[in-house]
Amino acid sequence: MRSSIATKNKLTLLSQMGEESKFQVLQYNSLKGGENYKSILTIKEIESLGKRLKQVRVKLNDSSIKIQDNSLSYIKGNIIKSYSNNYCNKIKSIFSSRKSKECSSIKEVLKGTGEVLLEPSFQDFTLIELIDEEIIIDNKIFYSCDGEIEINFNNEEDELKLSGSGVVVLKIPVPENEIIMCRLFNDELIVNNDIVILRNKNVKIESDKYDY
């Protein structure tokens, strides 16, 4: 088959982590197309602010990853898909119009050898490597992680507890260079509004402790 379509996409590798499952954050240099004139103007306005479309790619080598439900763009290779929470999967299929909060914690499991491309976004991504440790994050910023990492959902707080060893991909609200990491040692940190992206399991949160 012959085509005038270029076979090479102009993507920049921003960051990379992992061994058996290699996680990559890619960036599109510039977007030229769009479904209509309005969408093209919207894209150009976003790019004029310095934002670029980014996409997470994971190269699997007889390994597995977990991804946020409905975040998959496409798969290349010998990869099978299942769910990490079969109970919620059944509830979701029966009550599709009334998806429960618990079922928002469903994670798809992809296993095999090949490439996985997740849905692109103008938001920023960060890669975090856990080494036999545990972190707590907001459920909304989870995007993907190594299959060996255990995920537990706190329904009351809409939080995820990630524990084990491997790489975690988070969709963050600001660029990485605007995030501040605070190390606490027998100390106390007071923040205004919910601006904590993640925390170690040993860091406890108390709400409305102070009356301003």
Q: Residue 91: its pLDDT value, please?
A: 44
The residue among 136, 135, 122 whose CA lies nearest residue 172 is: 122
The residue among 109, 164, 107, 171 whose CA lies nearest residue 137 is: 171
User: What does the block give as tokens for 128?
Assistant: 């975090």
Per-chain mean pLDDT for the chain: 83
Is the Cβ–Cβ distance between 154 and 161 less than 8 Å? yes
Is 60 exceeded by the pLDDT of residue 84? Answer: yes
Q: Residue 86: its pLDDT value, please?
A: 45
Q: Give Cβ neighbours of residue 210 (< 8 Å, ≥ 6 apart).
A: 190
Is the Cβ–Cβ distance between 65 and 57 less than 8 Å? no
Please state the pTM of the whole predicted model.
Answer: 0.80
133-189 pLDDT, tens digit each: 999 998 889 999 999 999 998 877 788 999 999 999 999 988 888 888 888 777 777
- H helices, E strands: number in the chain: 2, 10
Residue 102: band (very low, low, confident or very high) from pLDDT cuts 50, 70, 90: low
* Single-letter code of the amino acid located at 125: F
Q: Residue 160: its pLDDT value, please?
A: 92
Residue 130: band (very low, low, confident or very high) from pLDDT cuts 50, 70, 90: very high
126-129, long-range: CB < 8 A, 24+ apart: 126/15, 126/169, 126/170, 126/172, 126/176, 126/179, 127/15, 127/16, 127/17, 127/23, 127/25, 127/167, 127/168, 127/169, 128/167, 128/168, 128/169, 128/170, 128/198, 129/17, 129/18, 129/166, 129/167, 129/168
Residue 79: band (very low, low, confident or very high) from pLDDT cuts 50, 70, 90: very high
- Total Cβ atoms within 10 A of residue 171: 20
Residue 90: band (very low, low, confident or very high) from pLDDT cuts 50, 70, 90: very low
User: What does the block give as tokens for 166?
Assistant: 């491997």
Is the Cβ–Cβ distance between 86 and 168 less than 8 Å? no
Q: Residue 77: its pLDDT value, please?
A: 96
User: What does the block give as tokens for 20?
Assistant: 């058996």
12-57 pLDDT, tens digit each: 999 999 989 999 999 998 887 777 888 888 888 988 888 999 999 9
Separation between Cα atoms, residue 58 and residue 25, nearest integer Å: 9
Residue 207: band (very low, low, confident or very high) from pLDDT cuts 50, 70, 90: low
154-170 pLDDT, tens digit each: 877 788 999 999 999 99
The residue among 28, 126, 111, 103 whose CA lies nearest residue 77 is: 111
Residue 10: band (very low, low, confident or very high) from pLDDT cuts 50, 70, 90: confident
109-123 pLDDT, tens digit each: 999 999 999 999 999
